[in-house]
């Protein structure tokens, strides 16, 4: 079936005329119509637009054009602005917002010929680790619909896992691509901060947010990353460096690759996950990689550091949503202050309010030095330790999450416990490093992921290592029961 084929295989079939892009899009739209109601992964379907874009792709191919993404369907996380299509960020605040322009990531994929099927559900304003804070309700994990898919990009992850699209976009502020990728058995990559433009990506924490990719495999992720990476003058944090050919080095052997096993990643790791990680290490050793233990003593500070820095930035970024310019506006306000208070009170959910209040507190005059400034110093310590580690090793290997997917509702009322789900992923964001999660097995029938972290702009190295691992294993090809048919 077409939904079980890789991006490369689909591109080959389109090139040979075995299927048209229009028929391929119809195939995936039919799957979304049939399977999405039980998952709530897709919240806006753009069927008419998708079929029109697919027809254009078919005409381009008929005229001699080609490309690895020409005519390939995708789903965008609903944090990316899409011209003429609702961009809600999973919030009531933006439930009625129709973006007047395309985010750079959206524009680049459209230029590459990819066809948008719709927009994926997400934690409200990307704040969450379980995709339960969305105004549109929780996303359900295809592997067990009573479990969460992870967040905040849970809709994108669930859509790829359920074969509703060959790939999807996501964003990663503290692990929001890698964590849901691990919990849904997909491959997810967060590039180096600045490698992919953030223009048109609604901001949560500007120094941490980075766009990335969900796909079935590292090879597919490399194809998509190739299309979206690169300098963008519209984004002041975009880095003006040449983009390497991410696919060209996928087949390179791993002999001599130095892999660091992070000592601190053993803290809090459940036994079943630890066993899978040990098996993954054995695979890499069999492929010729060398392993050694690496210590990052400040890494345990990453969670408290993140939950000072990120809320501070979110408090600033979300101040623009005031009921005046765009977004939700309360009915019949008595005066300007009432308009502000009720519009924001009605428009934002509990988790967003919690983080705004935390961020406002740590930025206040009496607490700035005690919390925010100290957090920034801890962030620098973590960054320096990563830099020192990469003088000894080429990549770091560890778990992506401490546990498999947990039941919906199990942690939503305990924010601190929820925040600890990102304990292994946050460090890479604080240091601006590229990181990737790839499937490595199952615990109690639920998928788990391993995480690879590299030095700045070492995405080729991560994709190569993950691809070679996936050639030697089959975890990434497994579909959730009932979704391969």
Catalytic residue set? 77, 152, 176
Q: CA-to-CA distance for 8 and 223, rounded, in angstroms?
A: 8
Strand partners, 215: 167, 187
DSSP 8-state secondary structure symbol assigned to residue 99? -
Q: CA-to-CA distance for 184 and 251, rounded, in angstroms?
A: 26
Q: CA-to-CA distance for 374 and 172, rounded, in angstroms?
A: 23
- The three-point CA angle 276-281-286 to 5° equals 125
Q: Dump the DSSP string for 313-350.
A: HHHHHGGG-SSSSSS---SS-SSHHHHHHHHHHHHS-H
Peptide bond into 152 cis (omega under 30): yes
Q: CA-to-CA distance for 89 and 97, rounded, in angstroms?
A: 10
Q: CA-to-CA distance for 30 and 370, rounded, in angstroms?
A: 54
Q: Dump the DSSP string for 248-265.
A: TTTT---TT-EEEEEGGG
Element holding 293 (H helix, E strand): strand 290-294
Yes or no: say if 79 and 6 are a contact pair by the CB < 8 Å rule. Answer: no
Q: Dump the DSSP string for 71-95.
A: T-EEEEETTB-BTTBB--TTSGGGT
């Amino acid at each position: 079936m077409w939904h079980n084929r890789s991006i490369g295989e689909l591109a080959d079939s389109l090139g040979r005329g075995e299927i048209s892009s229009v028929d391929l899009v119809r195939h995936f739209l039919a799957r979304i119509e049939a399977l999405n109601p039980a998952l709530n992964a897709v919240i806006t379907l753009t069927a008419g637009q998708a079929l029109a874009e697919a027809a254009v792709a078919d005409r381009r191919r008929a005229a001699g054009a080609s490309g690895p993404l020409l005519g390939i369907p995708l789903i965008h996380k609903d944090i990316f602005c899409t011209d003429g299509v609702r961009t809600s960020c999973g919030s009531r605040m933006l439930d009625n917002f129709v973006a007047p322009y395309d985010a750079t990531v959206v524009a680049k994929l459209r230029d590459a010929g990819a066809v948008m099927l719709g927009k994926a559900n997400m934690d409200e304003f990307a704040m969450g680790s379980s995709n339960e804070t969305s105004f549109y309700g929780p996303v359900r994990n295809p592997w067990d619909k009573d479990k969460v898919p992870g967040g905040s990009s849970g809709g994108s992850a669930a859509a790829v896992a359920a074969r509703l699209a060959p790939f999807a976009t996501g964003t990663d502020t503290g692990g929001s691509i890698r964590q849901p990728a691990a919990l849904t058995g997909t491959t997810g990559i967060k590039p180096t901060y600045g490698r992919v433009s953030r223009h048109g990506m609604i901001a949560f924490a500007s120094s941490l947010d980075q766009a990335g990719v969900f796909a079935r495999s590292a090879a597919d992720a490399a194809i998509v990353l190739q299309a979206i990476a690169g300098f963008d003058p519209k984004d002041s944090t975009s880095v003006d460096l040449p983009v390497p050919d991410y696919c060209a080095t996928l087949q390179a052997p791993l002999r001599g690759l130095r892999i660091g096993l992070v000592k601190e990643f053993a803290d809090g790791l459940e036994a079943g996950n630890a066993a899978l990680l040990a098996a993954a290490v054995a695979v890499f050793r069999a492929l010729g990689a060398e392993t050694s233990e690496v210590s990052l003593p400040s890494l345990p500070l990453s969670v408290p550091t993140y939950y000072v820095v990120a809320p501070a930035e979110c408090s600033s970024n979300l101040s623009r949503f005031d009921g005046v310019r765009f977004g939700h506006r309360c009915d019949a306000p008595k005066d300007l202050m009432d308009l502000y208070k009720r519009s924001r009170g009605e428009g934002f959910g509990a988790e967003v309010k919690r983080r705004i209040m935390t961020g406002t507190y740590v930025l206040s005059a009496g607490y700035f030095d005690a919390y925010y400034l100290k957090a920034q110093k801890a962030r620098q310590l973590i960054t320096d330790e990563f830099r020192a580690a990469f003088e000894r090793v080429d990549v770091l290997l560890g778990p992506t999450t401490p546990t498999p997917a947990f039941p919906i509702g199990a942690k939503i009322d305990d924010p601190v416990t929820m925040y600890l789900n990102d304990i292994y992923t946050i460090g890479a964001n604080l240091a601006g490093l590229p990181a990737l999660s790839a499937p490595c097995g199952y615990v109690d029938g639920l998928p788990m992921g391993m995480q690879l972290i590299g030095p700045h702009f070492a995405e080729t190295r991560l994709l190569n290592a993950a691809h070679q691992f996936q050639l030697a294993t089959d975890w990434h090809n497994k579909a959730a029961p009932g979704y391969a048919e």
